[in-house]
Amino acid sequence: MLTIRSRNAAVLPSLAASCTSDGVDTRSARAHRADARTSPINPSADLAGRATRLGLEVIANNPRQDFDQPGCQDGLRLTLTKKLWMGCLIGVLLLGSAARSHAQNTGATEKTVAALEEQWLQAQKTNTSELLVPLLADKFVSTEIDGKVNSKAETIARAKASKYESAEYSDLKVTVFGDTAIATGGFKGKGTDESGKPFDIYLRWTDTWVKMPSGKWQCVASHGSTIKT
């Protein structure tokens, strides 16, 4: 059996001898390609000190290139390095694009939920409980400042019976976690409650919003804690 060194010495010079200024003789290229593909390849051989196993495979698949020239290994190494850097660059660009898309989606969600909170505030300012109905999920629960837990129906009934003279938010913030958003803020309000008793409250509140299968955001839970002044 011929060794890699002797086969390389036989194949590469014959390929080089068949080259012209216009390209490679077709029959010689086919013969070289067949020999390179069918002969056993020893990856540890020297290949005349220049070609590697990868080099022989490239020779077999690229008969029009003369790889039996000084610098062949450097050329292959440079090609592989370029491909590696190109892959890394594409990966970085894709990650950057995904990050920008995520940031844009998060910003849009923050604005959407903030607008819904403003609608809730408007329902209180104008004593229009109907504005509150579409904001609350069917299984909505509210933990009031007195510790009582109300359902959606109870919350809306309480809103109808209460009358606000003034209502305002402070420090409204929205934090997004995928299809869930947490809104926090301060609230000051004056008016009369469902029993006709006057109130003047200052509290911190937390609302949990979820993006429903329909794509609409609704509040699923609310909690308020009184701030002592």
What pLDDT, in 10s, does the model give residues 41-73?
444 444 344 444 544 454 455 544 444 455 555
b or e along 77-103 (b: 16 or more beta carbons within 10 Å of the residue's beta carbon)?
eeeeeeeeeeeeeeeeeeeeeeeeeee
Domains of the chain: 4-70 (no CATH), 108-226 (3.10.450.50)
Q: What pLDDT, on the 0 to 100 scale, is given for residue 8? A: 40
pTM over 0.75: no
Q: What pLDDT, on the 0 to 100 scale, is given for residue 164? A: 96
The single residue listed with the structure tokens 């990868």 is 54
Low-confidence ranges of the chain (pLDDT < 70): 1-80, 82-83, 85, 91, 93-94, 96-104
Backbone angles phi, psi at 14, to 5 degrees: -65, -35
Q: In what order do the strands lie in the sheet with 198-211?
A: 149-151, 136-143, 217-226, 198-211, 180-192, 163-177
Q: What pLDDT, on the 0 to 100 scale, is given for residue 146? A: 86
Please give the distance of CA 201 from its chain centroid, rounded to a whole number: 42
Q: What pLDDT, on the 0 to 100 scale, is given for residue 200? A: 94
Q: What pLDDT, on the 0 to 100 scale, is given for residue 90? A: 77
Q: What pLDDT, on the 0 to 100 scale, is given for residue 19? A: 35
